[in-house]
Structure formats: structure tokens, C-alpha cells
Amino acid sequence: MPSWALGALSGVLAASWQPRPRILELGSGTGAAGLAAAAVGAEVVLTDHSNLLNLIQLNAQMNAHFIQSAGGSASSCAFDWEEKPADELLQRHFDLVIGADLVYSFAAVEPFTVALQAVLLPQAAEGRTQALAPAMLYAHYPRFPDLDTAMTTALAARGLVLQERALPPWKGDVGSIPEDVLCHVKLLEIRPGTPSTSGAVSEGQQDQHGGGHGWDYHPMDCDCGQEHGQQDAQPGHGEPGHGYGGDGHGQPTA
């Protein structure tokens, strides 16, 4: 997970923290975000391809003192989005799903939406109200309008809708994360439902914002010097743990 994504997710989680939430992380990579949540008391299951589990487990061991001191826990499980999730995932109840920068090619759209459908819809169908049913917080870096439209459409086709959540205003760099990267980041909430019940951006708002994308695609109010669709100053591709982000040629990573 890139550092900008960790910063975006961590800030929002800290602002809306509940005691010992149960969190599922998709596309964990090194496990940075999930382990950060565990280190402040969450019960976290980190998932990614099986060849990354040793790295996740090693990082969990290196941070075991912080996790145990906070009363949290961190476990890992293989989750190949091209296959049905393991029963241990489907049988567990989660309060929140998190992930970041998992969709940056068209090849990623279908596996991502299928994976989310598999982990979100069964719990919503168990009688939990929409307010209590789990949602996903997804830190997203918009790259191409057509790709974001495809993601929104694919989610809706599977009974999932998204809306943009507010991020703290970024003033200057945050650690090693440049402001011109942070001000492009979008935090999206994805949950079961329909646009009329989820609070997603309305059709009129989409038209007003140049849309059809399901959220306001324009830059936040900061002097970034770049438009969302441009590729300059964007996070790097090919970092481990990006699920099916692709290899730069429109193919899913193995």
C-alpha cells in the first residue's frame, strides 16, 4: 500500500474510531494500513495473494509489541479475487473493510467488484440494517475518468454503491507524502444499497460536476497544478499488495 493511501485511511479511521472494531483489509501488500489499525486496538484480518502472506506475517511479528499493547490482533489469509473467498472469511463478521489503490487498470474492475460483493453482501443479507452493515473505506487515486466510470457501473451492477467521504484539508506535505499527491486522493465509501438509499452523488450532482462517475471527479480545493486525468505526480505502479492493479499493460498481476 502506498504511503499516501495509508495516510488517508489512518486519518479517517482515527477520527471515527470505535472500540476494537473487526476489520478486513483487501490487497494488504506489506500490511501497513491493517497493522496500523491493529496497533490501536482493532481485530484485523489482512488478505492478499498467498505469495505475500509471509511478508505480512513478518511485519505483524515485528509490530507484535504495539499490537498486543493496544489489545489488537492481526491475522492473515490468502484471498485470490479470481476465486471464491475462503470459508473463514465468509463466516466471520466484520465492521469495516479497507483497501487502497486496488483498481488502476480495466482488468482490475471485475475482480475487485466480485470480491467486494462476496464479502459485503452476505453480511448485509443477515438482517443487519444498512447503517450497521459493513462498508468499505477505499482510498482511491483517480487516474482516468473512463476507468472510474467503469468501476462505478460494475459496483452498481452487483448491488454496491459508492459515495465520497470528506478528508481532512491537506496543508503542505504530510511526512514524505507530497501535497500535490494528497490533494488528489479520494476516500470512497462502498456499501450495499442503491444511490437513493446510500447517499451517493445524485444524478443532478453528477451532471453538475462533469460526472456520471458517482462522485465529484474534480480536484479538491488545493493548488495541485495537475488535473486528475493526468499521470504526472501520481503514485507509482506495481507496488506489492495492489490486488489486481495490473502490470501497466492492462493485465492483472499474478
167: nearest Cα among 4, 13, 8, 17? 8
Task: State how far the Cα of 42 lies from the Cα of 174, in Å rounded to an integer.
Answer: 24
Domain segments of the chain as ranges: 3-208
Predicted local distance difference test score (pLDDT) of residue 210 = 35
Task: State how far the Cα of 156 lies from the Cα of 201, in Å rounded to an integer.
Answer: 13
Per-residue pLDDT for 220 more than 90?
Answer: no
Task: State how far the Cα of 162 lies from the Cα of 207, in Å rounded to an integer.
Answer: 17
CATH code of 3-208, in short, is: 3.40.50.150
Grid coordinates representing 247? Answer: 502490470
Query: What is the value of pTM for the model shown?
Result: 0.73
What is the per-residue pLDDT across 173-203, written as a single tens digit (0 to 9) for each? 555 666 676 677 888 999 998 655 444 443 3
Grid coordinates representing 253? Answer: 498481476
* Better-predicted residue by pLDDT, 229 or 78: 78
| Three state DSSP letters for the chain | CCHHHHHHHHHHHHHCCCCCCEEEECCCCCCHHHHHHHCCCCEEEEEECHHHHHHHHHHHHHCHHHHHHCCCEEEEEECCCCCCCCHHHHCCCCCEEEEECCCCCHHHHHHHHHHHHHHHHHHHCCCCCCCCCCEEEEEECCCCHHHHHHHHHHHHHCCEEEEEECCCCCCCCECCECHHHHCCCEEEEEEECCHHHHCCCCHHHHHHCCCCCCCCCCCCCCCCCCCCCCCCCCCCCCCCCCCCCCCCCCCCCC
What is the per-residue pLDDT across 110-148, written as a single tens digit (0 to 9) for each? 999 999 999 998 766 555 544 456 799 998 888 899 999
Predicted local distance difference test score (pLDDT) of residue 9 = 60
pLDDT category at 228 given cuts 50, 70, 90 is very low
Q: Which residue's entry shows cell 511485519?
A: 59
Please give the single-letter amino acid code of residue 32.
A
Range of lowest pLDDT (9-13, 95-99, 184-188): 9-13
Per-residue pLDDT for 227 more than 70?
Answer: no
Q: CB–CB of 101/5 below 8 Å?
A: yes
Q: Which residue's entry shows cell 479511521?
A: 13
Q: What mean pLDDT do residues 31-52 have?
A: 92
Grid coordinates representing 1? Answer: 500500500
Per-residue pLDDT for 214 more than 90?
Answer: no
Q: What mean pLDDT do residues 75-84 have?
A: 92
State the distance between the two ends of the chain, measured CA to CA, in whole angstroms: 16
